[in-house]
Copies of this chain bind each other. A is one copy, B any other.
Amino acid sequence: MKTSTVLSHPNIAFIKYWGNRDNALRIPANGSISMNLASLETRTSVEANPEFQSDSLTLNGRKETGTALVRVQAFMDLLREMSGNPYFARVSSENNFPQSTGIASSASGFAALAAAGSKAFGLDLSEKELSMLARRGSGSASRSIPDGFVEWHAGKKDADSYAESIAPAEHWELWDCVAVVTDQPKKTGSTEGHLLAGTSPLQAARVQDAPRRLEICRNAILKKNFEALADIIELDSNLMHGVMMTSTPPLMYWSPKSLKIMQEVAKWRKKGIPAAYTLDAGPNVHVICTKEYADRVRARLEKIPGVARVLISGVGSGVQVLL
């Protein structure tokens, strides 16, 4: 019997992951870049025990039975296969951010599960191997393994599709102010959405142009060039949503409130406030800004009608084994 406990953070993508080259292995159509979010935490414990009759999952104190459990069981199968250890596991996970805010918990969740699970099953994996493993649970989880600012190399097969740190968390004090506009669960989840990416006439062009955007974004981070970062992350977000809304069926994740916030942020930047928007597969607007403007950006966001609350976070570390 072995137990391991791990702390991880979700991440916000600057260059987005949308669509897979290989859906089963979650090999993405294009590389992506993100930053981990320090204030948002997932704590996951995994106990592997020969006495357990099946895998179990407790999320924020609640026993799960549905698709969440099925997805975790499939991931545990992978760990049993990799380790040769046949035991079932008890998984317990807690987020310090409400599920209902629309902040994706699958990235931090599977990053933590990969780290805690591999330890509990007696595997001693490198950061690269952990990132590859986390990817199998949720693509963006691969990016929550390394520290700070992270690039996920798309790769073409399992062994070359992993993330690594571009720069540590302390490299640049950026903040993410998340304007939460809805507590509604999204209609089409990311996993299902990725399958539709290829139906858009625009996806191939978005993917083909990705190396150019990755380079601009990587350089903007390395040189701490906020203007360059702002332009490329807004472009990349619009590219992904352009693909989403031209899929069959079309996926429109923006709400009128999202658009209002996006337009406000664009106006603020023209007036000299270093702030830029990016949206994942949901209506919440992540506003990236420099540390000295974070309070002002939050205050401005809170004044926009329809913004339910604003979460803020600096740059986070990679996954940390606590136990």
- Chain A, range 144-159, C-beta contacts under 8 Å to B: none
For the complex, give the distance between the alpha carbons of A260 and B260 in Å. 11
This chain: copies in complex: 2
Chain B nearest CB from A86 CB (Å) reads 48
Q: Is the CB of B205 within 8 A of A234?
A: no
Chain B nearest CB from A246 CB (Å) reads 5
Which one, B201, B204, B231, B252, contacts A263 given CB within 8 A?
Answer: B252
Tell whether A239 is near chain B: CB-to-CB under 8 Å. Answer: yes
Chain B nearest CB from A323 CB (Å) reads 46
Which B residues are CB-close (under 8 A) to A250?
234-235, 238
Q: Is the CB of B238 within 8 A of A246?
A: yes
- By beta carbon, the residue of chain B nearest A234 is B250
For the complex, give the distance between the alpha carbons of A246 and B244 in Å. 14
Hey, what's the 0/1 contact readout for A210-237 against B, CB within 8 Å counting as 1? Answer: 0000000000000000000001001100
For the complex, give the distance between the alpha carbons of A285 and B194 in Å. 29
Which one, B234, B245, B248, B257, contacts A242 given CB within 8 A?
Answer: B245
Which B residues are CB-close (under 8 A) to A201?
205-206, 208-209, 239
Using a Cβ–Cβ cut-off of 8 Å, how many residues does chain A contribute to the interface with B? 29
For the complex, give the distance between the alpha carbons of A31 and B96 in Å. 53
Tell whether A191 is near chain B: CB-to-CB under 8 Å. Answer: no
Hey, what's the 0/1 contact readout for A171-196 against B, CB within 8 Å counting as 1? Answer: 00000000000000000000000000
Chain B nearest CB from A80 CB (Å) reads 43
Chain B nearest CB from A30 CB (Å) reads 12
Additional A-B contacts beyond A242-B242, A252-B262 (8; CB < 8 A): A201-B209, A202-B239, A238-B242, A241-B242, A242-B245, A252-B263, A256-B257, A256-B259
Footprint of B on A, CB under 8 Å? 201-202, 204-206, 208-209, 231, 234-235, 238-239, 241-243, 245-246, 248, 250, 252, 254-257, 259-260, 262-263, 266
Q: List 11 A-B contacts (CB under 8 A).
A: A201-B239, A202-B206, A202-B242, A238-B242, A238-B245, A252-B259, A252-B262, A252-B266, A254-B259, A255-B259, A256-B257
